[in-house]
Structure 1
Amino acid sequence: MTTPFPSVTIEIQPAGKSRNIASVPEAAEVLLMDWPIHDGVKLKAARQKCLDALDGKVTITECRSAFIEAAKEARIFVDYPAKRL
């Protein structure tokens, strides 16, 4: 089952490297296996949203938003500024 979403960039170890997460299964794997913190309110919520999205209980957009919030909580979210014309 493919559940893509607009990619979210996070910083990974070693510091300074980045990774683009672009699907619900990929987000779930990172949250469960490679997350830099092991406890957090937003981490728990994001894990649940990913599982719920895989089951069709919530939208992919809700899952992505929860993933971003968890990345902010862990201080690994990379927010690229908008380009100016």
Structure 2
Amino acid sequence: MLWFWPPVYVRELSTGQTLGVKSVEAAIEQMRTWPKVGKKMKEAYPICYGVMDGSHTVDQCRAAFEAAAKEAKVVRSGE
């Protein structure tokens, strides 16, 4: 697992519960559950996958994931 900190808190669409996402893999998995694909999500996918090949950092992934979550209106304030 490739970890980042602090977690990004999002509303899990299937349960409505708050989930603290703190890894690249979990960020990718969460984005796959969001029905609307916007510009920020399209930008986040290659950044998050890029962490695995070394072309991006975990901090870049976290920032891109948080921006995509805000765009998707699933971000929640820190729990």
TM-score band (shorter)? 0.7 to 0.9
Separation of aligned partners in 2, 1:35 and 1:25: 15
Deviation above 4 Å: which 4+ runs of structure 1?
A: none
Q: Post-superposition shift, 1:16?
A: 4.1
Q: By how many angstroms is 1:13 displaced? A: 2.2
- State the partner residue of 2:41: 43
> How many residue pairs get matched?
78
Q: State which drifts further: 70-79 or 10-19.
A: 10-19
Over alpha carbons, which structure has the higher Rg?
1
Q: How many Å apart are 1:20 and its aligned residue? A: 1.2
Letter in 1 for 2:60: E
The residue aligned with 1:9 is: 9
Paired residue secondary structure (1:76): coil
Whether the 8 Å CA contact 2:38–2:71 is kept in 1: the answer is yes
Percent identity over the alignment?
33
Q: Is the 8 A contact 2:11 2:19 kept in 1?
A: yes
Counterparts of 1:38-77 in structure 2, within 5 Å, are: 39-77=37-75
Measure the CA separation in 2 of the matches of 1:26 and 1:80: 17
Q: Structure 1 regions of 5+ residues with no counterpart?
A: none
- Please list the CA deviations of residues 25-66 of structure 1 after superposition, one character each: whole Å capped at 9, or x if unmatched: 1111222x21231x2110001111111111110110000000
